[in-house]
Amino acid sequence: MSRAFYDGTLTPAALADWRTGRLAAVLRHVTERSPFYRRHLAGADLTAVTPADLTALPFTTKDDLRREMYDVLSGPVSEASIYYETNGTTGAATPCPRGARDIATSNAAVEEAWRRMFRTHFGERMPVVGLMGPSELYAFGDVFTAVAGSLGACHVKIWPESPRVGFAKALRLIEELGVEVIVCAPALCLGLAKAARHHGYDLAALPVKLFLVLGEICTPQFAANVATVWPHAQVRPALYGSQEALCIATGADSGRLHLSVPNYLAEIVDPDTGAVLGDATHGGGTREGELVLTMLVDGIKPLIRYRTGDLVRITPAPPGATLPGPVVEVVGRVADRIPLGRALVHPGELEAAVLHGVRSCLGYQVEVDHAPGGGDQVTVRLDLLPASAGGPDPAATGTALAARLERLTGASVHVIVDDDLDPVTHTGSFVSWKAARVLDRRTAADPAAEAARKVAHRYAVTT
């Protein structure tokens, strides 16, 4: 099915049959083998369920996963191929084992996306790939090792936050090995550049040509800014996914993410009420809201109507798209929406306003306080390259940025150029974009902000 989907031979009728058959198989699988789902779905009318209407089924939430733990699994851990778990930064770490079928179906989407991306950038040769992400109890290292191996691309695991590596060694290996592709969180694109300057490297002389990013939002404005920092590198999405839900969407060279259609039924719901706003897999037009997934692979931990907590915008794939499947734009976490001035701002909106037209920025942080006369006071700290290194005019950059944010929110905005930002700004993929980028002094720190603060020292790039 995956092969037919990616080579364009999958007909609508065949896909409809696949979705119907797989949904029935997964529902049988979880009600027979998962203690949680046997109880959770006991009151549901399974005969009323179709791929186009799943509303007879209750949602599965992150709280369910934290409470039920191993009872969510459809089988014992011994039947899995490998055990992972969530990082547990804002709650109990939950088990996320993967079986052979889970791994094969999820990785197939990543492999196809990389094959097309690499062909565009490197022709028939394979680049050296640097993997900059955690491996212990986390799928990052195994997924990309397997995909690189399947494609015949050499890879090196050089996560700078690892005590065995660090930024100095990572940069040395990038230079010595000719690493052209780096797979990492978006924030690391800028952290690595700052570390390179600190250690005396000329960014124009390093071989990096392509950043494949994942783990947090990456707006087009962020990607455009990275291209002004790294003279020969571009930013593209690697994938959008999670430990629990695997690879939900994969990146194309257009900068778009495309839903892995054979593996999921995707719904869009109102994040506040749970009302269904549409089937994200079919239909025209744009749908925006919280993404809810039903997994169609009857592996070790298929999830039914799983509320991801992610705000997304779904649109049909444009004509001539290099990958099939609807386009998924990740707007941010539901929990990361920020009341600011007169607006409730999504993370993607805030980052776009901060970085629109900004170049040579090595990092940013948004601080929010109560204004003395009422309302909100916003301070944006920007780490800009100096003019001697091709940086922009700080005054003009700050004036334009303040005007954009004031139009968006109605809050009072002040911009400060600061080359010594809090290291917490580099922790986004470990905790959350909001915990890394927004310091909100109007309320007490939430668990995510506290978790980011505890690990921030690991992400300092100059010490």
Q: CATH number, domain at 449?
A: 3.30.300.30
Residues 6+ apart with CB under 8 A from 151: 111, 114, 115, 118, 126
Same domain, 290 and 373: no
Instruction: Report helix, strand and coil shares of the chain as percent, to nearest 5.
Output: 40, 25, 35
Same domain, 303 and 397: no
Residue 161 belongs to domain spanning: 103-237
What single letter denotes the amino acid at residue 83?
Answer: Y
Per-residue pLDDT tens over the stretch 200-252: 999 999 999 999 999 888 999 999 999 999 999 999 999 999 999 999 999 99
Per-residue pLDDT tens over the stretch 13-36: 999 999 999 999 999 999 999 999
**What average pLDDT does the structure give for the chain?**
92
Question: Which of residues 335, 353, 385 is at a domain's end?
Answer: 335
Per-residue pLDDT tens over the stretch 252-293: 999 999 999 999 999 999 999 999 987 767 656 788 999 999
Same domain, 369 and 441: yes
Same domain, 83 and 112: no
Task: State whether residue 44 is helix, strand or coil.
Answer: coil
Per-residue pLDDT tens over the stretch 142-187: 999 999 999 999 999 999 988 899 999 999 999 999 999 999 999 9
Task: Give the position of tokens 């990740």.
Answer: 330
Beta-carbon count within 10 A of 444 CB: 8
Question: What pLDDT score does 185 carry?
Answer: 93
Question: Which of residues 318, 335, 352 is at a domain's end?
Answer: 335
Tokens representing 176 are 């010595």
Question: What pLDDT score does 283 carry?
Answer: 59
Q: CATH number, domain at 275?
A: 3.40.50.12780
Backbone angles phi, psi at 158, to 5 degrees: -135, 55
Question: What pLDDT score does 462 carry?
Answer: 59
Question: Kind and range of the H or E element at 223?
Answer: helix 220-229
| Dihedral (CA of 366, 370, 373, 376) sign | positive
Same domain, 288 and 309: yes
CA distance 427 to 139: 18
The number of folded domains in the chain is: 3
Same domain, 121 and 206: yes
Is the pLDDT at 463 greater than 60? The verdict is: no
Residue 216 DSSP class? S
Same domain, 48 and 67: yes
Q: Is 70 exposed, middle or buried (0-12, 13-18, 19+ CB in 10 A)?
A: middle
Cβ-contact 360, 315 below 8 angstroms: no
CA distance 400 to 390: 19
Same domain, 77 and 120: no
- pLDDT band with cut points at 50, 70 and 90 for residue 458: low
Question: Which of residues 309, 335, 361 is at a domain's end?
Answer: 335
Same domain, 399 and 321: no
Percent of residues, the chain, with pLDDT higher than 70: 96
Same domain, 453 and 367: yes
Q: CATH number, domain at 218?
A: 3.40.50.980
Question: What pLDDT score does 435 carry?
Answer: 83
Same domain, 121 and 214: yes
- pLDDT band with cut points at 50, 70 and 90 for residue 459: low
Same domain, 129 and 70: no
Question: What pLDDT score does 456 carry?
Answer: 65
